[in-house]
Each structure stands twice: as C-alpha cells, then as structure tokens.
Structure 1
Amino acid sequence: MSRNEVIFRRFEPRDADDAWLLHRRASEAIGVRGPEGVWEDDLRDIGEVYIASGGDFVVAHIGSKLTAMGGLKPIDDDVAELKRVRVDPAFQRRGLGRRILSELESRAVALGFKWIKLDTTMIQVGAQRLYETAGYIRRRERVLHGYAVIFYEKWLAGQHDDVT
C-alpha cells in the first residue's frame, strides 16, 4: 500500500474520535459550524445510528489519516438518507467526495434501498454541484437550524419494480 493510496472501508469504533474531528473541521471550513448540539448526536454513536439500524457508514483513509466519510441512515425499507458526507479540507478537490458518494450509493443498492434523500446548505456550493452532477434532483428548500437548506433525492438505478 502506497502512502497516498485511498482505502475505503466501513466505519469501526476506533474511528469515532477522528470522524468527530473531521466533521467539525470540515464544517468550520465551509462556514456551517455552530455550537455543538443535539443535531450532531448521530456522530456520537455511528455504529448504532447508521450500521445497526440497517444503513452503513464509510470512511476513507490515506495512510493513517481519516480523510473522508459519509453515512446512510434508513428512513424506511425503501429510502435511506445520505448524511455526514465530509472531506478533510486539506484533501478536497481530489475526487474523494465523489468516491464516497459512489461507495454509499453502491451500498444503498446492496442494502435494497430504492431512493436516497439528502440535504445540504445553500452555502455549500461544492456539495450542490457534487449531488447535481451525480443525478440528484433538487426538491425543495427551507430554513433548518438557521441555515437555508436544499433537499435532494435520487432514484437508484436498477431498483425499480417492473410495472407492465
């Protein structure tokens, strides 16, 4: 394994502190880091909230550094919510966000989800571009926790029921 090779794998409990730090660092870099609050409680129990619930959570490492992450949180049998997609600011613009997104979409299909829903803030222009170029459709906007938020969804190819 080379020093610069990116390794994608499922979250493990030993990743908890690094995942929290990545979340806070990435949020601060884009200007959406507020005081800690209950809206971040999912990151304090990733194994339970994402994996044990029937979803998944993926991390990417370059060497020993956690550089990107993201989760799938089940809403119901057909729909998963994409959450906590973060890329370390020092590793942005290298395709890690797109690769995490692709990995999570593949896992969603394997888990049997038909739709992915997500939200991102208006100020996260890079995230909007990522989701829109990956086929996500903008559905609505509203204010959430003091931020203007865009809600997206995507039908996962190959997951539709044939109707004749």
Structure 2
Amino acid sequence: MEPTLTIRRYQPGDGPRVQAVHEAAMRRAGAYVEGVPDDDLETIPETYLDTTGTFLVGTVDERIVATGALRPVSETTVAAKYSATPPDSTVELTRLRVAPEHQRRGYGRRLTAALERRARTRGATHVVLDTLSIQSAAQGPYETQGFELVHREPIEQFDDGVDLLVYRKELVESG
C-alpha cells in the first residue's frame, strides 16, 4: 500500500529537513549549484509566513518528503516580468521539491493543487513560476496541470545551454 501524504503548513523546526529535501531534489535534477546560498530557505518564517505567502510541507509517516511555497510576486523575479496581470492578483509558486526517493507518486501535483487552492482563497487570479530547462521532470507535470510556457531565456551560471523557463496559469475560469 502506498504511504499517505499529509500536507501541512511549515512549522518551527522543519528548516533542516526542508533544506535537505531541496538539496537532494536539486542534485537529482542536476540543478544544484554548490556554494550558492538559498536565503529564503534560511528565513522561511520571514520570507513566506510573515508576509502574504505560505510554505507547505508534505509528510509521509511524519517525515518531510515534499515542499512548496507561494509568495507575492516581486518585481525582482523573472517570473514577475511575465505575469501579465497586476502584481496584487498574481502569486509566485516556488520551492516545489520532492525528495528523490518519493518522486513519481503525485506528491508534487498534490502540493501544487493545495497551493493553488490557497492562492484562490487569497484572491489570486494567476500563478507564475520558473524552472530550469534541465529540470525536465517538472515541465510535464506543470503543463498537464494547466501551466503555459510564456518565456525562455539563457542562464549564464551554467556552461551547457541551460534556459530559465517561465510558466503561467490562470486560476479563475474566463467568462
């Protein structure tokens, strides 16, 4: 029987496991950059919870195996440039990670759906996200969940032609 994923809000003390899941998932994707700090993961309460954002974790047997967050769109992110809607009606989906040994079980889709529900209750009409072209395992699920690729640009941190991909999804049905 498949273990049950429980989704809950980030809690004090989750930080080390969140960082471990992030690093393992990024290493598996070939997208981990050694020595580049992830400041937002060091300050999750301040970055996500003390603002209008949220940070969720997925647990199996009380062990964190997946993460995902929403935050207000910031003018400093590439995704924000391609939101095509007012900043107050768009949120950014970020830090969606699943530990490698738990991938391909639908956990990322469940976290995305939970984050979208939260975004809707907060009045958001669109979600934007970015991912790297080498994170090919993420692209298919995003697209099957209704995200549309709206921008592609080269990333200079990588030597072998890696692109930043920006996706957007409308949360409300057009009428």
Q: 2:46 aligns with which of 48, 51, 66?
A: 48
* Deviation of the 1:64 alpha carbon: 2.7
**What is the CA RMSD across the aligned residues, in angstroms?**
1.8
TM-score w.r.t. structure 2 length? 0.84
The aligned residue for residue 62 of structure 1 is: 60
* Deviation of the 1:157 alpha carbon: 1.8
2-side partners of 1:126 and 1:96: how far apart? 13
Structure 2 unaligned regions, length at least 5: 74-86
**Does 2:94 correspond to 1:83?**
yes
TM-score w.r.t. structure 1 length? 0.90
The aligned residue for residue 7 of structure 1 is: 6
**Does 2:112 correspond to 1:101?**
yes
Q: Secondary structure at the match of 2:26?
A: helix
Identity of paired residues, percent? Answer: 34
**Does 2:169 correspond to 1:154?**
yes
Contact 1:80/1:116 (CA < 8 Å) preserved in 2?
A: yes
1-side partners of 2:35 and 2:61: how far apart? 29
**Does 2:145 correspond to 1:130?**
no
1-side partners of 2:44 and 2:117: how far apart? 19
The aligned residue for residue 71 of structure 1 is: 69
Q: Structure 1 stretches (4+) deviating beyond 4 angstroms?
A: none
The aligned residue for residue 119 of structure 1 is: 130
1-side partners of 2:88 and 2:170: how far apart? 14
2-side partners of 1:4 and 1:105: how far apart? 23
2-side partners of 1:7 and 1:90: how far apart? 17
Q: Secondary structure at the match of 1:93?
A: coil
Give a deviation string over 1:72-104, Cα, whole Å, max 9, x none. 010132111110100010001110010011011
Aligned length: 158
Give a deviation string over 1:42-71, Cα, whole Å, max 9, x none. 111111111211011110000131111100
Contact 1:136/1:154 (CA < 8 Å) preserved in 2?
A: yes
Contact 1:58/1:71 (CA < 8 Å) preserved in 2?
A: yes
Structure 1 unaligned regions, length at least 5: none
Q: Secondary structure at the match of 1:13?
A: coil
> Which structure has more RCO (C-alpha within 8 Å, separation ≥ 6)?
2
1-side partners of 2:165 and 2:91: how far apart? 17
* Deviation of the 1:148 alpha carbon: 1.1
Q: Secondary structure at the match of 1:61?
A: strand
Q: Secondary structure at the match of 1:21?
A: helix
1-side partners of 2:139 and 2:5: how far apart? 24
